[in-house]
Amino acid sequence: MSEPRTLDGNAIGGLLLELFGVELTAAPCICAGCGAREEVARLDVYVDCPGVVVRCRHCHDVMITIVRGPERARVDLSGTRGLEL
Amino acid sequence: MRTLELDVDGWGGHRAGQHLDVRLTSEDGYQAERSYSIASAPGERLAITVEVLENGEVSPYLVEDVHDGDMFEVRGPIGGYFVWEVGEPEPVLLVGGGSGVVPLAAMARERARVGGTAPMKLLYSSRTWEDAIYRDELATLGLDVVYTLTREQPPGWTGYARRIDDELLREVAFPASDRPRVYVCGSTRFVDAAADGLVRLGYDPMWIRTERFGATG
């Protein structure tokens, strides 16, 4: 049986640093679905998809998706109510 | 397994527990990027320990091919969550599976280097004794190290010989009344088993910081 490929927000710390220019793994992030507030490092991250999918560890709703293209990256934050910096 | 010392232009130092990303670019522009935990303590020469993974794109190069003086792209330091500061007074429980011990060793080195006084204990799950990295050094750092060897044990082994379970955690971990800080690093399955078990022992989930890694090589 293969290992489940769920990682956590630590795994995209470098990507977020590159896109936003700041360290974000310790930033609390609020799920738009259930309202849970967790640091980015504590969210479930799937990297085996086209792009990156970040899900709430409580209700499993999609909170963030990131798709990188050759010129720019598209970040969808519609599942995130807030991010504290 | 190989430990590489890196000289990075403009590197501003790091915190114990952080990682960095290595990006390799081939002649045709194809890029592969992987994260590696920083093995060295803050203040020591920057080092990463890399485990070679079959069919990997980056780790075989780093372990088998790279020579003194070679250059590659590095991004970091990364992470503000899975970090430990030596001034924190609470007891520290480190739980590592396989190469998940690397960032935990940076914490142990940091504590030894600056003479930290917080009690520190490492529970290290390895497949075999030979697979357990940093064994000799860990024995000199002044922390309590408990091994469990899950696949094969040397003759006369009297330590733990199974995957981490609740009974093992109860015997090894600080009591919940000590309100320890916990750092767990390893595969997703390992991290979830250890963290869930500690919560069943009465640990507050907020004491437990986890880092899962995937074997992408």
Domains of chain B: 2-78 (2.40.30.10), 92-212 (3.40.50.80)
Q: Is the pLDDT of residue A45 over 50?
A: yes
- The predicted structure's pLDDT at residue A2: 45
Query: Which chain B residues are closer than 8 Å to A54 by Cβ?
Result: none
What is the CB neighbour count within 10 angstroms for residue B103? 28
Q: Is the pLDDT of residue A85 over 60?
A: yes
Instruction: DSSP for B8-45, please give it.
Output: -TT-----BT-EEEEEEE-TTS-EEEEEEEB-SPTTSP
Q: Cβ separation of A9 and B81 shorter than 8 Å?
A: yes
Q: What percentage of chain B exceeds 90 in pLDDT?
A: 92
Tell me the count of A-B CB pairs closer than 8 A: 69
Q: Cβ separation of B214 and A5 shorter than 8 Å?
A: yes
- The predicted structure's pLDDT at residue B216: 65
- The predicted structure's pLDDT at residue B137: 97
Q: Give CA–CA dist B182/B180, Å, rounded.
A: 6
Q: Give CA–CA dist A85/B79, Å, rounded.
A: 14
Q: Cβ separation of B189 and A7 shorter than 8 Å?
A: no
Q: Is the pLDDT of residue B178 over 60?
A: yes
The pLDDT of A19-36, averaged and rounded, is: 97
Band (B215; pLDDT cuts 50, 70, 90): low
Q: Cβ separation of A8 and B78 shorter than 8 Å?
A: no
Of A5, A7, A25, the CB nearest to B79: A25
Q: What percentage of chain B exceeds 70 in pLDDT?
A: 99
- The predicted structure's pLDDT at residue B213: 87
Q: Is the pLDDT of residue B15 over 50?
A: yes
The pLDDT of B133-155, averaged and rounded, is: 97
